[in-house]
Amino acid sequence: MSEIGKRATILVVDDEQGVRQSFHMVLKDEFEVLLAETGNQAIDIFTNNTVDVILLDILLPDINGIELLERLKDMDPNTEIIMITAVKDIQTAVKAIKQGAYEYIIKPFNVDEVVTVIRRALEKHTLVKELTYLKGELERVQPFEKMVGNDEKMMKIFDLISTISQSDGTVLVQGESGTGKELVARAIHRRSPRKDRPFVVISCAAIPPTLMESEIFGHTKGAFTGAVHTAMGKLEIAHRGTILLDDIDSLDINMQGKLLRVIQEREFERLGSTKVIRVDVRFIASSNKDLEELINRGEFREDLFYRLNVFPVMVPPLRERKGDIPSLLNHFLELFSKGDNPPKRFSPEAVKVLMKYDWPGNVRELENLVQRLSTLCRGPVIRLRDIPMFTMTRTEIKDMPLREAIKAFEKQYIATILESVNYNRTKAAEILGVHRNTLSAKLYELGIRP
């Protein structure tokens, strides 16, 4: 059976009545059997019924069997078709298989053999359906390595990640703070042959320069004051895995030179030791600064830059992919609103305003806002009035003359009040301290259409 509790359906297409009746007698106890005498009749039956496997004779009175095979496969590529004929023609058999036939059986045939072939075809048919279902489920519930985005720029990055993950070449991920550079690095690792090995992060900006060498290379007991025992560095921990040098622009020039040697030679010594340790590590570096500008200022080694920049990945800021904001809002709401019944959601007006904001802190800023709102807002809907005013107006009023800035703020403020009272103008006028007619005039003047 192709599905639990449901018998598979077999369509027999043959112009000989005796052959059709023989198949019906043999198959009817195990399968639902449909019979067709001509190609056109087969197309009609196939169009109006769910068919799992087709037994198709090559010599039909109206349509050549190979041509019918092609037409049926165009209608549903997942249907398995078994070709049956009395003609022992190898070229025809090869052509049928190339066109997508599952098997080719020559008359006279053994009944048990045909049933076995049908069962194997059904197993393939079921597996293909299950694979298609699971693939769709994975795409639905598991975004690309927890990265959310349908924007064309993000799709190109996803494609690039899939390509470069199979290589061991160094990767330089650049982008503004909060754009998700570490997520890109993790995605590369998880899709690589090293996925079952460690993924180690070295935060170059968070570790003091005096401790950085020990952090990366490790040290022996007594190598420096406070080194009371021998310790492995991050390089050894990451052996056969991937190491992310986060904010690599923060490394001082001296440390950059030592790191360059490791990347080139894949060997190093612990602090206080002369023993050479060899490692097999893939290097990924990230930066939110313009490294070429730092090179011009003498703050970053040019040779290290080119060594790292084998596979450059530039992550776009959120303001350049605002179409992803609704998906990101829903993603973070699901993340932070677990247990809420019903789950929280943003009102359309709130989403519209949030899509106008430039998000200087990028995805991280949006994530923090959603976490705060999902905690503080008790109702199921997060409305415009729940969002801090600075978020709604900063982008709209920057670089405006004072009169225009006041008008923009007034428009946003009135719209917020209107939404808070479900667009009841009388109540909104009371809150604003104006007559209802004055409010109506303001709405017209500011172009607000509740």
Q: Is residue 147 domain-resident? A: no
Q: Is residue 1 domain-resident? A: no
- pLDDT value of residue 400: 53
Q: Is residue 2 domain-resident? A: no
Residues 129 and 156 in one domain: no
The residues near 333 (Cβ < 8 Å, ≥ 6 apart) are: 343, 344, 345, 346, 370, 374
Which residues of the chain, if any, have pLDDT below 50? 1-5, 132-133, 135-143, 390, 392, 397
Domain boundary (265, 297, 314) is at 314
Residues 197 and 281 in one domain: yes
- pLDDT value of residue 317: 95
Residues 131 and 159 in one domain: no
Residues 114 and 176 in one domain: no
Residues 190 and 285 in one domain: yes
Predicted TM-score of the model (pTM)? 0.57
Residues 107 and 124 in one domain: yes
Beta bridge partners of 85: 106
- pLDDT value of residue 137: 40
Structural domain range at position 342: 320-446
- CATH at residue 264: 3.40.50.300
Q: Is residue 146 domain-resident? A: no
- CATH at residue 117: 3.40.50.2300
**H-helix or E-strand spanning residue 123:** helix 111-141
Domain boundary (139, 166, 194) is at 139
Residues 105 and 133 in one domain: yes
- pLDDT value of residue 142: 44
Per residue in 296-332, is it b (16+ CB within 10 Å) or e — as a string? eeeebbeebbebbbebebebbbbeebbebbbebbbbb
Residues 407 and 427 in one domain: yes
Q: How many domains does the chain have?
A: 3
Q: Based on DSSP, count helices (H) and strands (E) in the chain, helices before strands.
A: 19, 16
Domain boundary (107, 139, 171) is at 139
Q: Is residue 402 domain-resident? A: yes
The count of other CB atoms within 10 Å of the CB of residue 291 is: 21
Residues 69 and 35 in one domain: yes
The count of other CB atoms within 10 Å of the CB of residue 194 is: 20
- The tokens describing 383, both together, are 């409305």
Residues 55 and 115 in one domain: yes
Residues 159 and 306 in one domain: yes
Distance, in Å, from the CA atom of 144 to the CA atom of 121, rounded to the nearest integer, reads 33
Rg (Cα) of the chain, in Å, rounded? 33
Distance, in Å, from the CA atom of 302 to the CA atom of 307, rounded to the nearest integer, reads 9
* Identity of the amino acid at 42: A
- pLDDT value of residue 450: 60
- pLDDT value of residue 262: 95
Distance, in Å, from the CA atom of 17 to the CA atom of 21, rounded to the nearest integer, reads 6
Residues 91 and 183 in one domain: no
- pLDDT value of residue 62: 92
- The tokens describing 183, both together, are 């997520």
> What is the three-class DSSP state of 76?
coil
Distance, in Å, from the CA atom of 307 to the CA atom of 265, rounded to the nearest integer, reads 12
Distance, in Å, from the CA atom of 167 to the CA atom of 282, rounded to the nearest integer, reads 9
